[in-house]
């Protein structure tokens, strides 16, 4: 990946080579308030759409019912507006009025269930009773983390009852790797099961990010995925999963540097000192906040 110092030039080259009219998305999870890292992602997303005549879909990724809160969803819509970012779909009113939305994951369980049924029809889905502790114990005994297909408990061969409490559903993505050309970093590749078969439904009954993001990009017609470099490793399994669900040509991918804390760690929603609404409340203008986020990932400050 280009570092923060070289990302601006890489982004310029990427945008210059893009066709007109692509659909991209900004897809936060309402588990906390938007922070500077989200602002940086929004800058790249809206710039790519603006300069190529494309459109931006705002998607609420609230698949995790235990952590997501409606108050955070309302806040992120307000914070985007305060920063000057307006999605092409949906309108802010569509998310505020409480109606079910095609752009809110918690309202679209049937779409994920249908995708799971497709994968099940291919013989790819199985129940698993392994937990994080199972994986940690396996790694502690062997001095390395689990990698490759399957899981430490060999659950694919055990034919466990899926509806039993506490069971995860995993998808067998098969062997090997997937390759793609990242628009900023160039040709890349990765194993589809670097940490085992990915879960598509967690032990609480939530459809997972691994499944929902692929299904949503298909149903929303997303052909340009722009996100932070921390999700690079997720790309190979998502390309493979999309292919199993009928997407012959994956979306284009562009990964950008992260906004990091002084100690090098990436920001999280727990970092109140970088929350967009808190920074604006101190008197920082939207333009100045956008400029701070842009500088952090190697872009020239620019209005959306």
Q: Is 135 domain-assigned? A: no
Q: Is 223 domain-assigned? A: no
Judged against a pLDDT cut of 70, whether residue 269 lies above it is answered with: no
Q: Is 231 domain-assigned? A: no
Q: Is 218 domain-assigned? A: no
- What integer pLDDT is reported at residue 265 of this predicted model? 76
Q: Is 123 domain-assigned? A: no
Structure tokens belonging to residue 36: 């500077």
Report yes or no on whether pTM surpasses 0.85: yes
Q: Is 293 domain-assigned? A: yes
Structure confidence by residue, pLDDT tens digits, 37-64: 999 999 999 999 999 999 999 999 999 9
Structure tokens belonging to residue 186: 């160039």
Peptide bond into 90 cis (omega under 30): yes
Query: What integer best gives the mean pLDDT of the chain?
Result: 93
Residue 163, number of CB atoms within 10 A of its CB = 8
Structure tokens belonging to residue 115: 């995708």
- Arithmetic mean of pLDDT, 162-173: 96
What span, in angstroms and rounded, lies between the C-alpha atoms of 25 and 225? 7
- Arithmetic mean of pLDDT, 147-155: 96
- What integer pLDDT is reported at residue 275 of this predicted model? 92
- Arithmetic mean of pLDDT, 80-93: 94
* Residue-range definition of the domain harbouring residue 66: 1-107+259-304
5 — pLDDT class (breaks 50, 70, 90): low
Q: Quick check: 210 and 172 in contact, CB under 8 A?
A: no
Q: Is 202 domain-assigned? A: no
Q: Which of 63-72, 190-199, 230-239 has the lowest mean pLDDT?
A: 63-72
Q: Is 151 domain-assigned? A: no
What total number of domains does the chain contain?
Answer: 1
Torsion angle in degrees (nearest 10) through CA of 127, 230, 112, 38 = 140
238: alpha, beta or left? (left if phi > 0; alpha if psi -120 to 50): alpha
Q: Quick check: 290 and 301 in contact, CB under 8 A?
A: yes
Judged against a pLDDT cut of 60, whether residue 84 lies above it is answered with: yes
Domain with 285 in it: what CATH number?
3.40.50
């Amino acid at each position: 990946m280009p570092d923060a110092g070289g990302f601006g030039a890489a982004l310029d080259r990427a945008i210059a080579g893009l066709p007109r009219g692509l659909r991209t998305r900004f897809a936060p999870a309402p588990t906390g308030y938007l922070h500077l890292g989200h602002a940086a992602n929004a800058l790249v997303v809206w710039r790519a759409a603006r300069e190529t005549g494309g459109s931006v879909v705002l998607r609420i990724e609230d698949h995790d019912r235990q952590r997501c809160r409606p108050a955070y969803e309302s806040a992120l819509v307000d914070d985007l507006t305060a920063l000057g970012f307006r999605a092409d779909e949906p309108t802010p009113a569509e998310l505020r009025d409480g109606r079910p939305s095609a752009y809110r994951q918690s309202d679209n369980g049937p779409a994920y269930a249908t995708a799971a049924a497709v994968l099940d029809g291919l013989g790819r889905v199985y129940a698993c009773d392994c937990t994080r502790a199972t994986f940690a114990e396996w790694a502690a005994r062997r001095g390395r983390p689990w990698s490759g297909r399957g899981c430490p408990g060999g659950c694919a061969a055990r034919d466990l009852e899926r509806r039993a409490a506490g069971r995860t559903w995993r998808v067998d993505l098969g062997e090997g790797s997937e390759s793609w050309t990242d628009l900023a970093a160039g040709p890349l590749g990765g194993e589809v099961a670097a940490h085992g078969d990915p879960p598509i439904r967690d032990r609480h009954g939530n459809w997972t990010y691994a499944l929902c993001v692929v299904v949503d990009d298909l149903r929303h017609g997303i052909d340009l995925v722009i996100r932070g470099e921390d999700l690079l490793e997720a790309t190979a399994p998502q390309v493979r999963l999309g292919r199993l669900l009928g997407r012959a040509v994956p979306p284009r991918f562009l990964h950008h540097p992260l906004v990091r804390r002084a100690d090098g760690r990436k920001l999280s929603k727990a970092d109140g000192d970088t929350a967009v609404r808190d920074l604006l409340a101190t008197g920082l203008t939207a333009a100045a906040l956008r400029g701070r986020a842009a500088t952090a990932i190697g872009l020239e400050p620019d209005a959306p």
